[in-house]
Structure 1
Amino acid sequence: MRRRAILLLLALSDVAVAQNLPFRDAARPAEQRAADLVARLTLAEKAAQLKDDAPAIPRLGIPAYAWWSEGLHGVARAGDATVFPQAIGLAATWDAPLVQAVADTVSTEFRAKYLATRHPDGSSDKYRGLTVWSPNVNIFRDPRWGRGQETFGEDPYLTGRMGVAFIRGLQGPDAGRPRTIAAVKHFAVHSGPEADRHREDVHPSAHDLEDTYLPAFRAAVVEGGVQGLMCAYNAIDGVPACASPLLASQVRGRWGFKGHVVSDCAAIADIVMPTSHGYVPTSQQAVATALNAGTDLFCAEFGLGKSHDPQIIVDAVRQGLVKPGVLDRAVTRLFEARFRLGVIGVGAAPRPAIAATDFDTPGHRARALDAARKSIVLLKNDGVLPIAGTPRRIAVIGPNADSVDALVGNYAGTPSAPVTVLAGLRQRYPQADISFVEGTGLVGAPLKPVPADVLCIDRDCGTRGVRVDEFAGTALAGAPVRAATDTAVRFGWGRPERRERATSIRWTGYVTAAETGPYRFRLTGDGGYRIRVDGRTVVDAWDAADPASIADGEIALRAGQRYPLVVEAIQTGGRGDQRLEWSNFGARGDAAVAAARDADLVVFVAGLTAKLEGEEMRVHAPGFAGGDRTSLDLPRPQQDLLERVQATGRPLVLVLMNGSALGVDWADRHVGAIVEAWYPGGEGGQAVAEMIAGDFSPAGRLPVTFYRDAGQLPPFGDYRMAGRTYRYFTGEPLYRFGHGLSYTRFAYGTPQLGRARIRAGDTATLSVRVTNTGHVDGDEVVQLYGSQAAPGAPLRALMGFARITLKAGESRDVRFAIDPRTMSVVDPAGRRAVAPGIVDLWVGGGQPGAAAGHKPPAGAATRLTITGTHALD
């Protein structure tokens, strides 16, 4: 006891002395404080700080810190939060000030979550810190990529503008005291396929690298002032991205980045794993190559066998693979960030007044609704929309009509009161008779919760329900901490705010088939699971690496027969909600067709969810592979039902909810109105209903090209930009990048150039008068494109855009300043310069011309002449 007391007194003495050390002085710059602190750490203490779950340093009063937080379109994975439209939907607003306001709100909610969940010692939990691994500015080069939904689309200029806006919103105006720290990702070239990302070695041409893959990252660093950057899984020219010389030459050299670099999770392990890059033979060499290249923080595993033991880093230093100064540099950068954020105990800088309850507020949800309204793109309208008056009978059909998954996309929080499209229509048309028939699931017959009356504890069915055994931890190990019976296979612990939870459960009993035929089983939720029926493994998705994907399985059952049932599942994270679902494949959508036939209006809500497209997933369905897509078509069951519903001849609105372009060529030829709603966030259903009703005029624009089918594209694994995106695609798309219709009309005057002839290196100015010539108030997205016959130049490139609001009959002058970088081109050798010659400019509501079968947008053309050449870094 005496020895323990002495040690405690010594520890308290160390902390007391630490209060007077320079790193505790909040008046000093973060760089000085960090350098002073790092100089006092042991080698082992420094090494441990390179983990994303950095441990506390009690002797100096430094709390633990969890670096890993996700904020792609709201605070993710941390319970209730405002869920904004997915990033691709935010891009479809073409409204950079709105995107910045959204990110500002997200940063407020991160601060609130941090305050609400911070432990008494100042430490934080995973997903509840202030270092936000967002935005994703990778180029959505191919619509088959499942993670494309996380990006701002296919265009480097639009992506750069949106990325800068999001970063400024997250970090705030004071670089020395950011509200949160953004980490732009994934550097570089990363854009699928998902199945190959841990071993993919990309060899982009010098032209494509400078012209397409790097500009948005440069904008994030140079203009956005981003303080964090995440390196990718793939290799670039033979070197894993987190060890790439581009980190030093481009990011820190040419762009002047001063912040910290974090690896994508387990990307350092990929450097050494023989099944991944296998770039070096030992774990010590893996961390050394990353640190020496400029990576500072390791997410998750960074050694063979998926180890995350900091002793690997210690050994790398002792073996001379990493110089002590290199390790100090990395740790110093990390502590600089924490000092700027004010998350280190005594001496933390004061922050703007944010309360622990300032998340998921009515005001924040109102902003999410505004963003959802502005993200909606009207793809086609043959006069069906807006709906006149109030239909007496509305049939709502489709797998996404009442789906929360279709609202939130991936990397999402939990909306406390989500408004699906069905709920939105019922709110908007309270007097209408609204029937809902799902008709089909996403990729098969719809799955429904297994009803309680078919479940029994024993074979004789003396007791209804199932036996529940719950275990501490995720391995079903040890004695159950809870043993009970329940009426159904379901679980949910609500939405805890304080901490992550981790349990596992085994449900056992018997299930009786209602009909003879093939049944599919699935457990909803966010954790791994297994399902066994009649002793057969129907689903084995125990590996939770892809818990969000749709994992189901089929088994033939006979009506009235009772089968043994075992369901085992892991519950982690902030939700843990799970339920057992099944489907009999006998249903063909007859009820949906009947409902459509009896309706005055049919709203068919189709598309995808993040359980089909996303990050490195396991999806067994035609048209999908590893989280990516192999087809751009609607899944066959949805397409078949859509055709049957359309054949009823009733007025039909097709609402698409998805994160990537769909090749809805048949629908474009046969359906009167098509709406692209993306994954519109927690308030999305209200926005869709209001748009259908004509409460506002839609003005979203496509941030990606909608191709007719995948056959128009080069192979997915080909990273060359030739034949991709509107900038290099020479075919006829279904809907062009920048396309979107309105309920009103706009006219453009003659564009006026400040000077029709400029010297290379000067800034050009263009102004144009835009008039709302229709009878409805509305927004117009004014788009400026340029094309030039110079080596390496794209067919056409976006040079500016502005979203404006005009009342019916109102006019406004819109002015663009085209700086040298915006009008520059990249030659085949990768050299960027403003080239001499004529630049054909077009300003209008979309690209000049139109896809086949569609009217061209309003707009006007002019020409700019450039003399001389001006090279750019």
Structure 2
Amino acid sequence: MPDAPYRDARVPAHQRATDLLGRLTTAEKIALLHQHAPAVPRLGLAAHTTGTEALHGVSWLGPATSFPQAVGLGATWDRALLKRVGEAVGTEVRAFHERPAEDGRAPIGLNVWAPVVNPLRHPLWGRNEEGYAEDPLLTAELATAYTRGLRGDHPVYWRTAPTLKHFLGYNNENDRTSTSSDLRPRVLHEYELPCYRGPVEAGAVAAVMPSYNIVNGRPAHVSGYLKDELRGWRNGADLLVCSDAEAPSNLVAAQRHFADHAEGHGAALRAGVDSFTDHGTDAPVTIARLTEALERGLITEAEIDAAVLRHLLMRIRTGELDPELDPYAGTGQDVVGCDAHRELARQAARQAVVLLRNAGDLLPLPADAALAVVGPLGDDVLRDWYSGSLLYRTTLLDALRERLGTDRVAFADGLDRIALRSTATGRYLTAAADGTLSATGHQVGPAEEFAVQDWGHGVTTLQARDGRYLTKDGYGMLAATAEHPDEWVVQETFRLERGEDGRVRIQHLGTGRWVAVAAGSHALTTYAVARDAAEPFTVRTVSAGAERVAAVAAAAGAVVVVAGNDPHLNGRETEDRIDLALPPQQEEILRAARAANPRTVLAVVSSYPYALDWADAEVPAVLWTAHGGQEGGRALADVMLGDHSPAGRLPQTWYRAGQRLPDLLDYDIITAGATYLYLADEPLYPFGHGLSYTRFTYGALSAETIDGHAVATLTVTNSGARAGAEVVQLYSRAPESRVPTPLRRLQAFERIELAPGEQRTVSLRVPLAALGHFDTAHGRWTTDPGRYALLAGASSADLRSEAEITVTGPAPLPRPGLDGPLLARDFDTARGIRLTDRTPAGGEAVECGDTAPGRLAFDTVDFADGATSVALAVSRTAPGSAAVELHAGGAVTRFEVPSTGGRHRWQTVRGPLAAPVKGVHGVEVVLRGALRLAELDFTR
């Protein structure tokens, strides 16, 4: 059909997609809803796949340019850089897309699953490495820049189709499919949604992925916020909503929210999910479930059409129907890992380095320095789950030796070397050249030595003499053949348990089984189910790592200790961290180096913050960078040797040891006093912190209001002797606010490069609306009249200049008490309650357990000339007594709540108030016993 409107590139994209939709059969349309959509040859549609991972480089498809982890890109605070990185990654995705498909499969998809915009609310979140920042503005700005790079600048065709992850309230890994994140309206609108809204309304986002978790009692994949919020934003109507892997099945299997899969899949489609990532490439399972949902009347053809239309629109925009016009078509393979991308990777890794401390100006190190590099990460480059295959690895040790010469840089990994002697054979565990392990060694030599790395919390890795890790193969045998811990279920970690007899038994953590010695072959297996069947080993320490560290440190002019994490261990997708401490072995290495040489630099290479109290007090220089990909080592060397003045700034708070952290599941940052926005205590290193090799002086700040904006202006001078970059940060505070508001809130920032002595005037514009808050009393954003402070400085705790503006307008009105029901979830403050779903399909309520009363407070409710009665929407399944108490106008009214026969079976309890309530009053609601409350409807 060469003359069909959908084939005509001159026809608007929506019209083309609508025409193409009308030519599809119902069966063809349903088939397009799976991640792996089949071809429709009669219409010229090729097979298509959604979902190419591109978080900080092309992932899982082979060697590609690897950029710093997302949290490292966040540390650059550099929009222009993020756009360039997005352009590079998108260009390499296009190159992979152009490669011939294998075995007739669909080409690599142009729908990329990146970036992650979940704010880094809690430092123990296992996926901390994937987000940009704990602040919603910084997250949104950097995500917008990255998606613009991925999308491209062409007015018609998209280079790739970016997908924001993960909508919504997702900051915990443990039990992530069954835990519910409570997002009360203020937290939802002030903290969570802005991270998504900014990039969506900027017009560079094609799709959004819901999260695995439950939000306010309802799985995110059937959340009303997909339609009520996301699809209502500018550019939101056309967004493709791609499910996370296996999440549609979780609606029934893990979350038990629906009775069967047809019902669950149908509910997801109605809620707004358009693409089902489920059962891998086995699309018929999803097709059958959606077909059944249609046949049972759970979904309509119109709802299917709406979802398919968004698929087709995305495919048209990425040029699938117009290869001859698509400017990105035919991207050559030479772009993958090209020189320009390698240089960009190095630049990004340099800008990601944050100088946390530099007492006595120990850094930069002199060009003729004689150094010692210590710690196992000093000679390693680690990947994370979403890293691509590295084109090459440049460690810090490699980079320093390139610059200074091999003879001027000593190295000690600091790991203990041990030999393990089998009780069963009386011989030592030995590793053959091919990695085969057996308990056959007669004496301790290089083949019998194993390096032990303690990652903390009982997680240990063992390396043979050639550096390869002990791992389990598919038959349960152990061999020293792994380059690094890897794979979804890591097979390279062990727990070494010392018994009362002094001998060690080894548990393989990937399977939970214990290591045994096979009779006859004396090979090592993971066949032992119980500890009692494990092989007891006698441990002999061949050499102590801390002693080797002390020796090389003492002989050097300065020592660089490299510490941090392996992104596959103790904090990653599916696993949250337990605490903020460095692994004990790394702490021992650091202290040994510092004791031997006061000129010690600590370089932390990690996916997340640590509590570095001792280092901050005792180590002169401390740097942090995220895992930096292929150029991470050179970037660190560039900073340490002064080729690059550090300009990275922390994208999240670094807390002190023992400092109170909210529970990982407490998403209410306002009540919990969480993140830099509400943290009253002084952290170790504040949000936005980062030092330089030069000094910047801030002039006075002036501010005025122009066209609905506050415009803040100041001069910044490089008053030092070196060129450098400063990140000028502007924060606001609302000293007269009637509700709790942030102690400081980032409103704008600008990264500027200044030569020595150079001065620049910086003007930063802030919409007056951004100074406000979400008004739960009226369900809208508001900026109250009054005074607002604007503060400029080098971090959230280093604010050097302040100005004030006054916002005028009518005074805020109290909450109307007689114009309709008060929704229980719209409280001003609460204690002892959880947010929950009102019905499986929509609405929200609050619930209380039976151990302690729950309390809701509604401030300044206007009852006008008087309320005399109230109707409560309640539900309850538990036996026994329960009640709701209303405290208003000095009187207390109590209502008994009966069992309603189910959590979604609601009843109305009505009655008179103990005394009429007139005028404006606060209302406190006390829930006694296990019950759920949806609304309160006061009447005259």
Aligned to 2:556: 599
Aligned to 2:265: 287
Cα distance in 2 for residues equivalent to 1:174 and 1:666: 52
8 Å contact from structure 1 (residues 753, 766) kept in 2:
yes
Q: CA RMSD in A?
A: 3.6
2:693 alignment partner, SS class: coil
The structure-2 alpha-carbon separation of the partners of 1:243 and 1:41, relative to structure 1 and needing over 3 Å to count, comes to: same
1:292 is matched by which residue type in structure 2? R
1:314 alignment partner, SS class: helix
Among 415, 420, 423, which residue is 2:395 paired with?
Answer: 420
1:841 has 2:790 as partner: yes
2:34 is matched by which residue type in structure 1? K
Cα distance in 2 for residues equivalent to 1:393 and 1:328: 68
Shift of 1:862: 1.4
Shift of 1:29: 2.8
Cα distance in 2 for residues equivalent to 1:870 and 1:746: 41
Q: Equivalences for 1:276-425 in 2 at 5 Å?
A: 276-301=254-279, 308-344=285-321, 349-351=326-328, 354-391=331-368, 393-405=370-382, 408-425=383-400
Cα distance in 1 for residues equivalent to 2:150 and 2:811: 34
Shift of 1:309: 3.9
1:154 has 2:154 as partner: no
Cα distance in 2 for residues equivalent to 1:362 and 1:114: 20
8 Å contact from structure 1 (residues 421, 686) kept in 2:
yes
Shift of 1:215: 0.7
1:141 has 2:116 as partner: no
Cα distance in 1 for residues equivalent to 2:250 and 2:160: 29
1:782 has 2:728 as partner: yes
2:569 alignment partner, SS class: coil
1:400 alignment partner, SS class: helix
1:331 alignment partner, SS class: helix
Aligned to 2:75: 92
2:145 is matched by which residue type in structure 1? A
1:220 alignment partner, SS class: helix
Aligned to 1:500: none
The structure-2 alpha-carbon separation of the partners of 1:553 and 1:532, relative to structure 1 and needing over 3 Å to count, comes to: farther
8 Å contact from structure 2 (residues 431, 437) kept in 1:
no
TM score, norm. by length of structure 1: 0.80
1:266 is matched by which residue type in structure 2? E
Q: Equivalences for 1:416-565 in 2 at 5 Å?
A: 416-430=391-405, 432-440=407-415, 487-489=433-435, 512=441, 515=444, 529=473, 532=476, 546-547=488-489, 551-554=493-496, 564-565=522-523
Cα distance in 1 for residues equivalent to 2:492 and 2:486: 12
8 Å contact from structure 2 (residues 646, 692) kept in 1:
yes
Cα distance in 1 for residues equivalent to 2:5 and 2:804: 60
Among 697, 702, 713, which residue is 1:752 paired with?
Answer: 702
2:579 is matched by which residue type in structure 1? S
Deviations 1:756-809, CA, capped at 9 Å, x for gaps? xx7xx8111111111001111111110101111311311110011001000000
2:523 alignment partner, SS class: strand
Shift of 1:670: 0.6
> Which moved further from structure 2: 98-107 or 799-808?
98-107
1:201 has 2:147 as partner: no
2:411 alignment partner, SS class: strand
Identical pairs, percent: 34
1:861 has 2:861 as partner: no
1:817 is matched by which residue type in structure 2? R
Deviations 1:391-412, CA, capped at 9 Å, x for gaps? 553211112112221xx43411
Aligned to 2:873: none
Shift of 1:21: 3.6
The structure-2 alpha-carbon separation of the partners of 1:860 and 1:309, relative to structure 1 and needing over 3 Å to count, comes to: closer
1:82 has 2:82 as partner: no
Cα distance in 2 for residues equivalent to 1:807 and 1:419: 30
The structure-2 alpha-carbon separation of the partners of 1:510 and 1:176, relative to structure 1 and needing over 3 Å to count, comes to: farther
1:180 has 2:171 as partner: no
Q: Equivalences for 1:37-52 in 2 at 5 Å?
A: 37-52=20-35
8 Å contact from structure 1 (residues 93, 700) kept in 2:
yes
Aligned to 1:762: 708
Cα distance in 1 for residues equivalent to 2:68 and 2:593: 29
The structure-2 alpha-carbon separation of the partners of 1:271 and 1:431, relative to structure 1 and needing over 3 Å to count, comes to: closer
8 Å contact from structure 2 (residues 177, 212) kept in 1:
yes
Q: Equivalences for 1:788-799 in 2 at 5 Å?
A: 788-789=734-735, 790=737, 791-799=739-747
8 Å contact from structure 1 (residues 533, 564) kept in 2:
no
1:631 has 2:614 as partner: no
1:671 has 2:646 as partner: no
8 Å contact from structure 1 (residues 596, 650) kept in 2:
no
Unpaired segments of 5 or more residues in structure 1? Answer: 1-17, 467-486, 490-506, 570-582, 618-625, 850-856
Cα distance in 2 for residues equivalent to 1:175 and 1:585: 65
Shift of 1:343: 2.7
Aligned residues: 757
For the pair shown, which has the larger CA radius of gyration, 1 or 2?
Answer: 2
Shift of 1:508: 8.6
The structure-2 alpha-carbon separation of the partners of 1:338 and 1:513, relative to structure 1 and needing over 3 Å to count, comes to: farther
Cα distance in 2 for residues equivalent to 1:525 and 1:592: 22
Cα distance in 2 for residues equivalent to 1:704 and 1:300: 34
Aligned to 2:903: none
Among 244, 247, 255, which residue is 2:226 paired with?
Answer: 247
1:269 is matched by which residue type in structure 2? S
The structure-2 alpha-carbon separation of the partners of 1:286 and 1:784, relative to structure 1 and needing over 3 Å to count, comes to: same
Shift of 1:679: 1.2
Cα distance in 2 for residues equivalent to 1:147 and 1:291: 28
Cα distance in 2 for residues equivalent to 1:90 and 1:521: 29
Cα distance in 1 for residues equivalent to 2:335 and 2:199: 27
Cα distance in 2 for residues equivalent to 1:418 and 1:804: 31
Cα distance in 2 for residues equivalent to 1:731 and 1:609: 30
1:753 is matched by which residue type in structure 2? A
1:686 has 2:657 as partner: no
Aligned to 1:263: 243
2:111 is matched by which residue type in structure 1? T
1:133 is matched by which residue type in structure 2? W
2:715 is matched by which residue type in structure 1? R
1:107 has 2:90 as partner: yes
8 Å contact from structure 1 (residues 229, 260) kept in 2:
yes
Shift of 1:73: 0.9
Shift of 1:267: 1.2
> Which moved further from structure 2: 108-117 or 380-389?
380-389
8 Å contact from structure 1 (residues 63, 344) kept in 2:
no
The structure-2 alpha-carbon separation of the partners of 1:753 and 1:313, relative to structure 1 and needing over 3 Å to count, comes to: same
Task: Considering fraction of residues, name the structure with more strand.
Answer: 2
Aligned to 1:662: 610
1:216 alignment partner, SS class: helix
1:669 alignment partner, SS class: helix
1:813 alignment partner, SS class: strand
2:792 alignment partner, SS class: strand
The structure-2 alpha-carbon separation of the partners of 1:175 and 1:318, relative to structure 1 and needing over 3 Å to count, comes to: farther
Shift of 1:299: 1.2
Shift of 1:525: 9.1
Deviations 1:231-285, CA, capped at 9 Å, x for gaps? 1111112211111111111011244511210011111111111xx2111010101
The structure-2 alpha-carbon separation of the partners of 1:203 and 1:75, relative to structure 1 and needing over 3 Å to count, comes to: same
Cα distance in 1 for residues equivalent to 2:86 and 2:298: 40
Shift of 1:39: 2.5
8 Å contact from structure 2 (residues 52, 109) kept in 1:
yes
Cα distance in 1 for residues equivalent to 2:222 and 2:418: 45
Cα distance in 2 for residues equivalent to 1:175 and 1:527: 51
TM score, norm. by length of structure 2: 0.75
Cα distance in 2 for residues equivalent to 1:511 and 1:291: 60
8 Å contact from structure 2 (residues 323, 329) kept in 1:
no
Deviations 1:193-228, CA, capped at 9 Å, x for gaps? x12211112221111111111111111211244111
Cα distance in 2 for residues equivalent to 1:153 and 1:41: 43
8 Å contact from structure 1 (residues 654, 674) kept in 2:
yes
Shift of 1:465: 8.9
Aligned to 2:665: 717
Where relative contact order (Cα < 8 A, 6+ residues apart) is larger, the structure is 1
